Amino acid sequence: MDRSRTPVRVRRTSRSRRTGLLASLAAALTAAFTGAPPAQAATPPPAAVSCPAELDGKATCYTGQDADGAYYAIAVPEHWNGSLVVHAHGGPDLGTGSDPARSVDDLARWSVMVKEGYAWAGSSYRRGGYGTRMAAEDTENVRRLFVANFGKPRRTYVHGQSWGGDVAAKVVEVYGRRGGPYDGALLTSGVLGGGSRGYDYRVDLRVVYQYYCHNMPRPTEPQYPLWQGLRADSTLTTAGLRARLQECTGYASAPRERTALQQRNLDDILAVTGAPERTLESHLRFAVFTFRDIVHDRLGDRDPFSNEGVWYSGSHDDKALNAGVERFAADPTAVRDLSYDSDLTGKVSIPVLTMHAIDDPTAFVEHESAYRATLRGAGRDRYLVQTFTHESEHSSLSDAEYANAIAALDGWVRTGKKPTPRTIADSCAAFDRTYATGCFYDPDFHPASYASRVRPRPGGLSWPAMTAAQAKRWSRIAGVGIAP
């Protein structure tokens, strides 16, 4: 690697680390609002800044903004092993521009990678809102920026978390050819069902919620089709959504404090949709606000969702529910554009290791079944190893497991010897002696099919949802997909 291109390191301070990081970006933000040349005019080199507290004395950290306007953060450990982890964050966040704090926060959150000796680079993406291919391009851009300023790493791994798992999987398919810039991928808690099918359970939640609650919209408010999530000009806030959910179900109250109707509404909604009670509000937020972003801001008010042919069951009166729930059919061009942007083809040519909590309440573990079926359908499942843990979180699993996972992937790439869920589980104890966060692997676990958790739409049982050949044909259509 070319260490001669590494910028001069600066001494870190132990005070006000996060404040210093954000303050160092303030000048860039000020320039943007005072008529300075746009980011495309010049791309300044990464600026050395104070590291997050988790990396004090362990690394040198940098931030900056790329040519497309995406803020990023980079860390190079004091004892660098020569390899790089490029991180794709989850979400998507719904802000209009790139959030300079996001990549800094992600660096702190994934500091375990740096502690293990890997350099780390993460993009905040050039804007908020949905756009998997855009986020994949921004992830690739930060990798290129790292190489331009620090030299080519020995090996490069892409890591995606949550929706970032879909982003990183898209990086693998678009940029991860054999002999290309990426050597392997780690997908943790990934939303791996793709956009055209991966949100069907939230479509179901949206219509089932409205059937029981009648308050989003209320009968006295302007009406709109529920596939929009929320009408474009609505001023509803997340606090307002929580208030309406509480009004209908009493979800935030102790069971003894709910009315009989609230309890029945809550029971029916949970039973029919399969949403865990503890994440009901976050799933509904996505089905309201993120659906609005997808439909209105990204697809020009075209409907990519359908619930035609779906039979809802588990309520106290399924017949009445199915007779009264709102139905709609998708616009084929909207389905095409969402699919092209975020569905996966399974065209994988490098090792991919996944890790998922069995009781993940946000990205259900059955997403892993969809991903395996996708690679199997493409004849590429030999590149995949999946691991599962007895944990009940989505946002963060055990640091010992993350350290173990990146080491297992690195060993696979270096030696060519494919690990098994059992060998990965057995190797975790060595890392837990350092991190003391526990090892919870279940090497014998196999998730049920995606259709066992999410009611399939007609034609929705075969994988991949979008073949590589189909993606190639669609790529020739002007304006296909979601604009950056």
For position 329, what pLDDT does the model report?
97
Q: Taking CA 319 as the corner, what is the angle to CA 317 and CA 322, rounded to the nearest 5 degrees? A: 110
Percentages (nearest 5) of helix, strand, coil residues in the chain? 45, 10, 45
Residues 6+ apart with CB under 8 A from 221: none
Interatomic CA distance for residues 312 and 320, integer angstroms: 10
- Asked whether 69 and 126 are in contact (CB, 8 A), the reply is yes
Q: How far is 197 from 192, CA to CA, in rounded Å?
A: 10
Dist. CA 352–CA 178, nearest whole Å:
13
Is the previous residue joined to 464 through a cis bond, with omega within 30 degrees of 0?
yes
Residue 236: burial class (beta carbons within 10 Å; 0-12, 13-18, 19+): middle
pLDDT given at position 208: 98
**Which residue matches tokens 């991180």?**
87
Q: What is the dihedral of CA 38, 99, 160, 396, to 10 degrees?
A: 170
pTM: 0.90
Per-residue pLDDT of the chain (484 residues; tens, 9 = 90+): 333 333 333 333 333 344 444 444 444 433 333 333 333 446 889 999 999 999 999 999 999 999 999 999 999 999 999 999 999 999 999 989 999 999 999 999 999 999 999 999 999 999 999 999 999 999 999 999 999 999 999 999 999 999 999 999 999 999 998 889 999 999 999 999 999 999 999 999 999 999 999 999 999 999 999 999 999 999 999 999 999 999 999 999 999 999 999 999 999 999 999 999 999 999 999 999 999 999 999 999 999 999 999 999 999 999 999 999 999 999 999 999 999 999 999 999 999 999 999 999 999 999 999 999 999 999 999 999 999 999 999 988 999 999 999 999 999 999 999 999 999 999 999 999 999 999 999 999 999 999 999 999 988 999 999 999 999 999 999 999 999 9
Helix or strand holding residue 320 (H, E): helix 318-324
CA atoms 129, 134, 135, 141: torsion sign: negative
